[in-house]
């Protein structure tokens, strides 16, 4: 494990399809954090709003601890260019099953201060990104996983831009009609709204 790092994924990284082939990931729960749509600005796909994790006492979020070769850290930093790396306290992470050996270097990416603000009409959440994230939660934890993600994420007042017909998110995944209906229903219950 000397040449490995562990990254806690709480959004698209939960979806195994967004990870390099053969990547090991360990599902579990992280204490002391919540997710929020609090990263807004210009990106290669336009002005959008992204997801971050922020400390919140008493809150827990499901996610995955993903093992990467340390040599891939620069590529990860480039993927997460609007985020800073923070040390992750392993005691705050509870695996769903038996704990595997975890590298000494453990991190979680959180928004850089210069990008931290709520999204808005000009910086909406992208539906193909939400679909990718919810598909990851659905594959790992079923309907309860989808509900958990929505219920433990702040910022559903920010509009979601419809783009399923022509996905803008570069790691977009194909979802079924049943998944579309489920995701939209749970989001609507949370007060989400969509724009074209």
Render each residue's pLDDT in the chain as its tens digit; 196 residues.
568 999 999 999 999 999 988 888 999 999 999 999 999 999 999 999 999 999 999 999 999 999 999 998 998 899 899 999 999 998 999 999 876 778 889 999 999 999 999 999 999 999 999 999 999 999 999 999 999 999 999 999 999 999 999 999 999 999 999 999 999 999 999 999 999 9
Q: pTM value?
A: 0.94
- pLDDT for residue 2: 63
Give the count of alpha carbons within 13 A of 146, CB side only: 21
**Three-class SS of residue 6?**
strand
- pLDDT for residue 164: 96
Q: Taking the domains of the chain in order of start, what are their residue ranges?
A: 4-195
Cα–Cα distance measured from residue 18 to residue 133, given in angstroms and rounded to the nearest whole number? 10
| CATH architecture group of domain 4-195 | Roll (3.10)
- pLDDT for residue 102: 84
Cα–Cα distance measured from residue 125 to residue 69, given in angstroms and rounded to the nearest whole number? 31
Dihedral (CA of 49, 55, 57, 58) sign: positive
């Amino acid at each position: 494990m000397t040449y490995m790092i562990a990254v806690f994924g709480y959004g698209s990284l939960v979806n195994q399809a967004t990870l390099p082939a053969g990547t090991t990931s360990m599902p579990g729960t992280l204490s002391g954090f919540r997710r929020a749509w609090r990263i807004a600005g210009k990106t290669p796909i336009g002005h959008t709003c992204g997801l971050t994790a922020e400390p919140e006492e008493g809150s827990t979020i499901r996610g995955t601890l993903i093992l990467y070769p340390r040599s891939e850290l620069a590529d990860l930093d480039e993927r997460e260019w609007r985020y800073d790396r923070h040390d992750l306290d392993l005691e705050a992470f509870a695996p769903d099953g038996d704990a595997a050996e975890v590298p000494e270097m453990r991190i979680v990416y959180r928004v850089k201060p210069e990008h931290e603000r709520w999204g808005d009409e000009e910086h909406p959440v992208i539906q193909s990104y939400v679909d990718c994230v919810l598909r990851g939660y659905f594959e790992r934890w079923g309907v309860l996983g989808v509900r958990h993600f929505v219920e433990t994420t702040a910022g559903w007042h920010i509009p979601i831009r419809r783009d399923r017909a022509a996905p803008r998110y570069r790691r977009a995944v194909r979802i079924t009609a049943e998944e579309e209906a489920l995701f939209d229903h749970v989001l609507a219950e949370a007060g989400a709204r969509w724009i074209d």
